[in-house]
A and B are shown apart, each in its own frame.
Chain A
Amino acid sequence: MDDVAAWFLALYKTTGIKLTIFYDGYDRARFFQGFVTTVKLSAYCLVLSLVLGALAAWLTGSHVAVVRRAVTGFVALFRNTPPLVQLYFFYFALGPLVPKVDGAPLLGSFGWAVVSLTLLETAFAAEIYRAGIEAVPKAMVEAAASLGYSRWQIYRLIMLPLALRATMPAMTNNLVNLVKTTTLAYAIAVPELVYMSAQIWSEQVNVPEMMVVLLICYVAIVGLINQGMQWLEHRLRVPGFGQ
Chain B
Amino acid sequence: MLTSRAGVALLAAFVASIVVAQVQAIPGQPSVVELLVKWTPLLAKGFLFNLLISFFAMLVGTLAGVLLGSARISPRPPVRGMSWIVVQFFRNAPWLVLLFFVMFLLPFEFHVGGTTIPFPDWIKATLGLALPIMANVAEILRGAVQSIPTAQWDAARSLAFSRRQTLWKIILPQCVKRMLPPWMNWYAILTMATTLASIVGVSEVMTLTLRITNAEGRTDLLIPIYSYVLLWFFVYCWPISLMTRRLEARYEVR
- Does B196 sit at the interface, judged by CB under 8 A? yes
CA distance A92 to B224 in the complex (A): 12
Q: How large is the interface on A (under 10, 10 to 19, 20 to 34, 35 or more residues)?
A: 35 or more
Asked if B97 and A85 sit within 8 Å, CB to CB, the answer is no
Q: For residue B184, give the distance in angstroms from its CB to the closest CB of chain A.
A: 13
Asked if B226 and A93 sit within 8 Å, CB to CB, the answer is yes
| Among B97, B194, B229, contact of A215 (Cβ-Cβ < 8 Å) | B97
Asked if A183 and B94 sit within 8 Å, CB to CB, the answer is yes
Asked if B192 and A81 sit within 8 Å, CB to CB, the answer is yes
**At the interface, is chain A mostly helix, strand, loop or mixed?**
helix
Asked if A207 and B222 sit within 8 Å, CB to CB, the answer is no
Segment of B32-40, B76-84, B99-107 in the binding face: B99-107
Q: For residue B86, give the distance in angstroms from its CB to the closest CB of chain A.
A: 12
Asked if A85 and B105 sit within 8 Å, CB to CB, the answer is no
CA distance A102 to B219 in the complex (A): 22
- Does B2 sit at the interface, judged by CB under 8 A? yes
- Does A155 sit at the interface, judged by CB under 8 A? no
Indicate whether A85 sits within 8 Å of B237 (C-beta atoms), given known contacts A72-B1, A180-B95.
Answer: no
- Does B195 sit at the interface, judged by CB under 8 A? yes
Beta-carbon contacts under 8 Å, B24-60 to A: none
| Among A73, A83, A180, contact of B192 (Cβ-Cβ < 8 Å) | A83
- Does A187 sit at the interface, judged by CB under 8 A? yes
Asked if B219 and A208 sit within 8 Å, CB to CB, the answer is no
Asked if A73 and B206 sit within 8 Å, CB to CB, the answer is no
**At the interface, is chain B mostly helix, strand, loop or mixed?**
helix
CA distance A207 to B222 in the complex (A): 34
- Does B198 sit at the interface, judged by CB under 8 A? yes
CA distance A222 to B132 in the complex (A): 15
- Identify the closest chain A residue to B230 (Cβ): A81
CB-defined contacts of B6 to chain A, threshold 8 Å: 72-77, 80
CB-defined contacts of A207 to chain B, threshold 8 Å: 104-105
| Among A85, A180, A184, contact of B230 (Cβ-Cβ < 8 Å) | A85
Q: For residue A173, give the distance in angstroms from its CB to the closest CB of chain B.
A: 10
CA distance A94 to B196 in the complex (A): 20
- The interface size of chain B toward A, counting residues with CB under 8 Å, comes to 48
- Does A218 sit at the interface, judged by CB under 8 A? yes
Indicate whether A81 sits within 8 Å of B237 (C-beta atoms), given known contacts A93-B223, A96-B222, A215-B97.
Answer: yes
- Identify the closest chain B residue to A180 (Cβ): B94
Beta-carbon contacts under 8 Å, B158-209 to A: 188, 191-196, 198-199, 206, 209
Q: For residue B26, give the distance in angstroms from its CB to the closest CB of chain A.
A: 17
CB-defined contacts of A88 to chain B, threshold 8 Å: 206, 209-210, 226
Asked if B104 and A211 sit within 8 Å, CB to CB, the answer is yes
Asked if A81 and B5 sit within 8 Å, CB to CB, the answer is no
CA distance A96 to B192 in the complex (A): 25
- Does B63 sit at the interface, judged by CB under 8 A? no
- Does A223 sit at the interface, judged by CB under 8 A? yes
- Does A138 sit at the interface, judged by CB under 8 A? no
Asked if A94 and B223 sit within 8 Å, CB to CB, the answer is yes
| Among B93, B105, B219, B237, contact of A218 (Cβ-Cβ < 8 Å) | B93
- Chain A proximity mask over B200-238: 1 for CB below 8 Å, otherwise 0: 000000100110010000010011011101100110011
- Does A158 sit at the interface, judged by CB under 8 A? no
- Does B9 sit at the interface, judged by CB under 8 A? yes
CA distance A147 to B192 in the complex (A): 47
- Does B10 sit at the interface, judged by CB under 8 A? yes
CA distance A172 to B170 in the complex (A): 34
Indicate whether A218 sits within 8 Å of B92 (C-beta atoms), given known contacts A73-B6, A80-B237.
Answer: yes
CB-defined contacts of B199 to chain A, threshold 8 Å: 84, 186-187
- Chain B proximity mask over A48-77: 1 for CB below 8 Å, otherwise 0: 000000000000000000000110111111
Asked if B96 and A80 sit within 8 Å, CB to CB, the answer is no
- Does B3 sit at the interface, judged by CB under 8 A? yes
CB-defined contacts of B226 to chain A, threshold 8 Å: 85, 88-89, 92-93
Given contacts A85-B229, A92-B226, 6 further A-B contacts (CB under 8 A): A77-B10, A84-B195, A85-B233, A88-B209, A96-B219, A187-B199
Task: Give me 17 A-to-B residue pairs in the complex whose CB atoms sit less than 8 angstroms apart, sorted by A's number.
Answer: A73-B5, A74-B9, A85-B206, A85-B230, A89-B226, A89-B227, A96-B222, A180-B95, A181-B94, A183-B97, A184-B96, A186-B199, A187-B198, A208-B104, A208-B105, A211-B97, A211-B104
Give me the 5 closest cross-chain CB pairs, A-B, nearest first: A76-B6, A73-B5, A77-B6, A82-B192, A180-B94
